[in-house]
Amino acid sequence: MCKLQLIAAGIGIGQDLAGVENGPEAWFDFFREHYPRLLYVPPEASLIKNNLSSVHLHNNKDSQSFPFAVYDQLAQQVANSQRRGFLPVTLGGDHSVAMGSITGSLQAQPNMKVVWVDAHGDINTPETTLTGRVHGMPLAYLLGLWAQDRFRLRLHEKNVALFGIRDLDSGEKKIIRDLGIKAVSQSEISRRGINKCWQEVSEHLNLANSPVHVSFDVDAMDPKLFPYTGVPVNRGLNGYECEILFHKISQLKNLRAIDIVEFNPLVNIESGGAVDGRHLVGQFLNSLTQPSQNRAQLKRISLSTTSENMAWPNLA
């Protein structure tokens, strides 16, 4: 049985909208009410809320004043959690928190594979960014494309895949092309089916035989499912695709770490859909606390309890 440990990373300096730094608290409240099992292991909560104001980077030199210390602290927590035998789940915060959590995963397992599930590429550098916001740059940081003067373990481009992307800047497209990074767009998922697309990523990264870190940006989900986020993009993962994806992830033999980022509880929009994406996340994490042979079973239960109002195929 996998012992899941929540790690609070209430960091919002990578973007401009207030509220995302409250993400961990809001997740804790939500889980306490609906999925208390997730709190059996005491959460690491030292970065529960960080009030540093947002930082913009427009060239590599700007990064010298960037507050990397909070990310280093997070990296240490994630690495320690794994070494103690837990599955750390880093709750953002904006996606810049992955600069810490994935660094921690690489410290624990240098050959860690990373699946980056996101509407965006998050692979801008301070030179290519149009906004200067660091939550659009964490993947480039991890690949060693900026702040190179900081000593750190580098994520190799062969060890990462993007999944569900549908909004890339032209500079990002060039980086992905030049580095030959595996990237599966949401339109491919819609066209060819999520099972096939996941299989491709799984083979590309050899997920079956590797330690895996999944970095999940809630904006990968369709805004009808999960509107509570700062940079929503239409036509994302639908409920059926989310269930399949979460199921695939839960079946990974060597899943080592998860990020759930960009939940902004102050974005108070009616979801308008029949399902609240927070429950999809909660059910997914809850399923990870079950012995793996029971997870398929659990999935059927969760589908049958939520599919009533939805036009999802019945998998059972």
Q: Find the part of the chain contacting Mn ion (CB under 5 A) among 17-25, 66-74, 91-99, 125-133.
A: 91-99
Number of residues engaging Mn ion in binding (CB under 5 A)? 4
Min CB(301)–Mn ion separation in Å: 30
Nearer to Mn ion, 217 or 222 (CB): 217
**CB-wise, 98 or 303, nearer to Mn ion?**
98
Shortest distance (Å) from residue 281 CB to Mn ion? 15
Query: Rounded to the nearest whole angstrom, what is the least distance from the CB of residue 164 to Mn ion in the complex?
Result: 10
* Beta carbon nearer to Mn ion, 15 or 159: 15
CB 312 to Mn ion: min, Å: 26
- Specify whether the CB–CB gap between 126 and 63 falls below 8 A: yes
Q: Closest separation between CB of residue 91 and Mn ion, Å?
A: 14
Residue 47 or 303 having the CB closest to Mn ion:
47
CB of 206 to Mn ion, least distance (A): 24
Tell me the CA distances in angstroms from 227 to 73, 125, 313, one per residue in order: 30, 27, 23
Residues 239-268 close enough to bind Mn ion by CB under 5 A: none
Taking the complex as a whole, how short is the minimal distance between the CB of residue 118 and Mn ion, in angstroms? 4
Q: Which residue has the tokens 């990578």?
A: 14
Q: Which of residues 93-112 bind Mn ion (CB under 5 A)?
A: 95
For 158, the token pair is 């062969």
Q: Would the CA dihedral through 138, 141, 146, 152 be positive or negative?
A: positive
Of the listed pieces 124-132, 182-190, 202-210, 217-225, which binds Mn ion according to CB under 5 A?
217-225
CB of 302 to Mn ion, least distance (A): 25
Part of the chain binding Mn ion (CB under 5 A), chosen from 92-100, 155-163, 166-174, 188-196 = 92-100
Please count the other Cβ atoms lying within 10 Å of the Cβ belonging to residue 192: 12
Q: Which two tokens stand for residue 231?
A: 């940079």
Nearer to Mn ion, 220 or 285 (CB): 220
Q: Which is nearer to Mn ion, 138 or 273 (CB)?
A: 138
- Based on CB atoms, which residue is closest to Mn ion, 95 or 256? 95
Residue numbers 117-146 binding Mn ion by CB under 5 A: 118, 122
CA torsion 75-158-162-301 (nearest 10°) is: -80
> Which of these ranges, 82-90, 164-172, 211-219, 302-310, lies near Mn ion under the rule CB under 5 A?
211-219
- Judged by CB under 5 A, the residue of 44, 172, 217, 241 near Mn ion is 217
Would you say 118 or 157 has its CB closer to Mn ion?
118
Name the residues that contact Mn ion, by CB under 5 A: 95, 118, 122, 217
